[in-house]
């Protein structure tokens, strides 16, 4: 199995994270992804530390979003660069770009011209705040989008402590939404024979992840606020404290609350605790009661008791602990690739599996993140060959 997108050619003009994430996801599924970079390379090649390699010049940030790609360096303002990109577009199925709105037009590769060159081309355009509207031209950076799109207002210890999510979630969601849109457009192309433009943005992707916070406000009139590590609509559901450290408990059903309370000598029908609605309304008292009950047990004891009672519970693992966890290894969430400079390295693997016995994430072999311009000569030679080569 070479992957469900085997034979699909993707031109990835994007940089930083949202677009490269989308390109990597398509590459994981077997597409041939050609990353077009300027002479200075993708911005993330300079993001660090940490930097690794003999000369300490390889960014581990870049390694995170660029596996299964080839790299070619082009100056898109030069005649040669425009010629090579034109020839790439003529052969491609997908083009990804995350420039500011209007930049592709200024380069001479607006959507109309791209579809003149290749009517079957699918263009994925990712922006910060949308391609139009009163603020459509704003630069898009994850930290800014998390704040502008409301995510920080519901993240943190309380309303006066807005916090960013610990990963660039706006970028990652935009990449995921973009890849999803591309796959849908590829399917649509099978019926229509024509490509189309797929658009998403950091703003749209973060708002699309508001979940109950969106309907709580739009339908229920309730404005969500940050309230730390506890669920706004379920209690108890969050982070609690055993004698020697934190544990997470999720009583997302009345039956689970009854099992949990009985296990730790709490009266499940006590005043203010009998129903989820009551427990949410009296959250502070519920949290205090649960913490008091857990304080006489170690975290390991709490987790063992919850497991025996059938109550969902878990640890708070460090990144180091996650990658050393046997469950992560069992799910093939680590990938080994042979990097031309670093040698054999282990990186996070694809989150997808196809069938019980597919451990590759969709393709038989995976390419390491490329060196800057590593494939320039080979790609130029390929373009000089037959169109179906």
Q: Quick check: helix, strand or coil at residue 79?
A: helix
Q: What is the dihedral of CA 154, 158, 162, 168, to 10 degrees?
A: -60
Among 208, 210, 236, residue whose Cα is nearest residue 223: 210
d(CA 27, CA 32) in angstroms, rounded, equals 6
**Per annotation, catalytic residue among 55, 171, 284, 377:** 171
Q: Quick check: helix, strand or coil at residue 6?
A: coil
Question: For the chain, what is the radius of gyration of the CA atoms?
Answer: 25
Q: Are strands 343-348 and 334-339 parallel, antiparallel or unpaired?
A: antiparallel
The alpha helices in 118-194, defined as continuous H runs, are: 142-148, 169-192
**Does the annotation count 377 as an active-site position?**
no
Q: Are strands 313-314 and 334-339 parallel, antiparallel or unpaired?
A: unpaired
**Helix 254-263 and helix 299-309: axis angle, to 10°?**
130
d(CA 236, CA 170) in angstroms, rounded, equals 28
Task: Answer for the pair 328, 322: CB distance below 8 angstroms, yes or no.
Answer: yes
| DSSP secondary structure of 238-252 | EEEEETTEEEEEE--
**Helix 169-192 and helix 18-28: axis angle, to 10°?**
50
245-269 burial, b at 16+ Cβ within 10 Å, e below that, comes to: eebbbbbeeeebbbbbbebbebeee
Task: Answer for the pair 118, 92: CB distance below 8 angstroms, yes or no.
Answer: yes
**Residue 23 phi, psi (nearest 5):** -60, -40
Q: Which residues are catalytic, by number?
A: 171
């Amino acid at each position: 199995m070479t992957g469900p997108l085997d034979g699909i050619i993707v031109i990835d003009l994007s940089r930083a994270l949202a677009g490269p994430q989308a390109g990597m996801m398509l590459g994981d599924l077997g597409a041939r992804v050609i990353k077009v970079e300027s002479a200075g390379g993708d911005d993330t090649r300079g993001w660090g530390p940490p930097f690794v390699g003999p000369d300490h010049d390889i960014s581990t940030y870049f390694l995170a979003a660029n596996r299964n790609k080839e790299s070619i360096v082009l100056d898109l303002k030069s005649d040669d660069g425009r010629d090579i990109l034109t020839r790439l577009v003529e052969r491609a199925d997908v083009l990804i770009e995350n420039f500011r709105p209007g930049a592709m037009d200024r380069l001479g590769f607006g959507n109309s011209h791209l579809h003149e060159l290749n009517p079957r081309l699918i263009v994925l355009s990712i922006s910060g705040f949308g391609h139009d509207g009163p603020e459509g031209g704003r630069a898009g950076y994850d930290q800014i989008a998390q704040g502008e799109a409301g995510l920080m207002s519901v993240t943190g210890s309380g309303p006066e402590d807005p916090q960013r999510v610990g990963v660039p979630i706006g970028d990652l969601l935009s990449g995921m939404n973009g890849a999803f849109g591309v796959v849908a457009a590829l399917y649509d192309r099978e019926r229509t024979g024509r490509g189309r433009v797929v658009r998403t943005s950091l703003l749209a992707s973060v708002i699309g992840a508001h979940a109950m916070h969106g309907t709580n406000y739009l339908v229920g009139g309730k404005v969500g606020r940050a309230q730390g590590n506890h669920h706004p609509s379920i209690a108890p559901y969050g982070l609690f404290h055993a004698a020697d450290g934190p544990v997470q408990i999720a009583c997302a059903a009345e039956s689970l609350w009854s099992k949990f309370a009985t296990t730790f000598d709490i009266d499940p029908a006590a005043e203010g605790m009998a129903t989820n609605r009551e427990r949410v309304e009296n959250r502070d008292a519920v949290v205090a009661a649960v913490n008091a009950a857990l304080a006489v047990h170690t975290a390991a004891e709490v987790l063992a008791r919850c497991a025996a009672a059938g109550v969902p519970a878990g640890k708070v693992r460090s990144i180091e602990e996650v990658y050393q966890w046997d469950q992560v290894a069992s799910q093939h969430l680590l990938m080994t690739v042979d990097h031309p400079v670093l040698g054999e390295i282990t990186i996070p693997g694809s989150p997808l599996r196809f069938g019980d016995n597919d451990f590759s994430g969709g393709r038989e072999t995976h390419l390491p993140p490329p060196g800057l311009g590593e494939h320039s000569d080979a790609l130029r030679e390929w373009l000089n060959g037959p169109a179906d080569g």
